[in-house]
Amino acid sequence: MTELLRYRKRIITSDDIRYIRQLISDNPHISRTALSQKICRDWNWIQDNGYLKDMVCRSLMLLLEREGHITLPARKRVPHNPLALRKPPKKIIVDQTPIRESLANLAPITLRQVRKTEWEAIFNSLIEQHHYLGYTQPVGEHLKYVFLSDKRPIACLSFSSAPYWINCRDRFIGWSLAAREKNRHLLAYNNRYLILPWIQVPNLASHLLSLCARQINSDWRQLYHHPVIWLETFVDTERFKGTCFKAANWSFLGVTKGTGKDNKLKRRVSIKAMYGYPLVPNFREKLNRI
């Protein structure tokens, strides 16, 4: 048995290739979808919420075919690519009356997790209209929050699965490669944060981060059936100072080199400062368990 490659935490061996080839040979008319689902079940490629890791498996099959290890059955139809055809979020107008208040005088704030609710379209629209990065559909596990004051949206905040490898974060946590492979799903990455531009309330941003930190673990468990015990984010140093994260007691972990994901030798993007926030006191112990 020879190791050929590693893919999403699984070592793909020569025995795995023989198994897939035999599966295709025994089922010459099987669809690629059915093939992927069969492999997921046999390999126990199942998410914590019970769903098959179907898209991960399909990507692996395409990779194996490109490298000449297998020949997939012919496509029965042209696959629908929702990302390629995805339209920008529909523009939704909300009350833009300016709010200039102290935090103490602001109407009570409600934090609403809006994934899979009618409020998700409002979140998507507000991010698309008012966040400098616009809206991009997250991949993998993610949550979206809308903050309301007197039933009006005042801010949006979202979290997704954490990046696989970040040097300064990994040093701070102190985990091994094996521990990171096993426990990275316990991290959540803040990928969008927006205070609506007509909301001017000093100290609001750090206050909302604290509110979210108290609730996100419960919401993540409800949707994905596992906890999160660490939050992290990047701050574009050419645009922001990270003041609200510092005020909310997030730890500064370090800065990126600005090389992006593809070219590790030449700077291509802005320098990002990274901040992290543990949700439990013994986070290092939990994240280092194998």
Q: Which of 47, 79, 111 delimits the end of a domain?
A: 79
131 and 30 together in one domain: no
42 and 172 together in one domain: no
How many CB atoms are closer than 10 A to CB 232? 23
68 and 187 together in one domain: no
- C-alpha pair distances (Å), 275 with each of 143, 206, 252: 19, 13, 5
The one-character DSSP state at 184 is G
Higher pLDDT, 269 or 83: 269
140 and 73 together in one domain: no
Q: Which domain holds residue 145?
A: 87-287
Cross-strand bridge partners of residue 6: 11
Averaged pLDDT for residues 171-181: 95
Instruction: Give the number of domains in the chain.
Output: 2
Burial class (CB in 10 A: 0-12, 13-18, 19+), 244: buried
pLDDT number for residue 264? 45
Q: pLDDT at residue 75 above 90?
A: no
Closest CA to 209 of 158, 162, 170: 158
46 and 154 together in one domain: no
Contact 283, 186 (CB under 8 A): no
Q: In one letter, which amino acid is 45? A: W
User: What pTM, to 2 d.p., does this model score?
Assistant: 0.74
pLDDT number for residue 10? 80
189 and 100 together in one domain: yes
**pLDDT tens figures, 210-259:** 999 999 999 999 999 999 999 999 999 999 999 999 999 999 999 987 76
> How sure is the predictor about 81, in pLDDT bands with cuts at 50, 70 and 90?
low
**pLDDT tens figures, 136-164:** 988 789 999 999 999 999 999 999 999 88
228 and 92 together in one domain: yes
Measured CA to CA, the distance from residue 56 to residue 198 in angstroms comes to 41
Measured CA to CA, the distance from residue 123 to residue 143 in angstroms comes to 11
Q: Tell me which residue has tokens 């609506």.
A: 196
Structure tokens at 191: 């990928």
Q: Which of 51, 79, 107 delimits the end of a domain?
A: 79
Structure tokens at 223: 């949707």
pLDDT number for residue 268? 60
Q: pLDDT at residue 48 above 80?
A: no
How many CB atoms are closer than 10 A to CB 51? 10
Closest CA to 93 of 242, 196, 225: 196
97 and 40 together in one domain: no
Q: Are strands 187-195 and 199-200 parallel, antiparallel or unpaired?
A: unpaired
First to last CA, the chain: 25
Average pLDDT of every residue of the chain: 91
Measured CA to CA, the distance from residue 200 to residue 141 in angstroms comes to 31
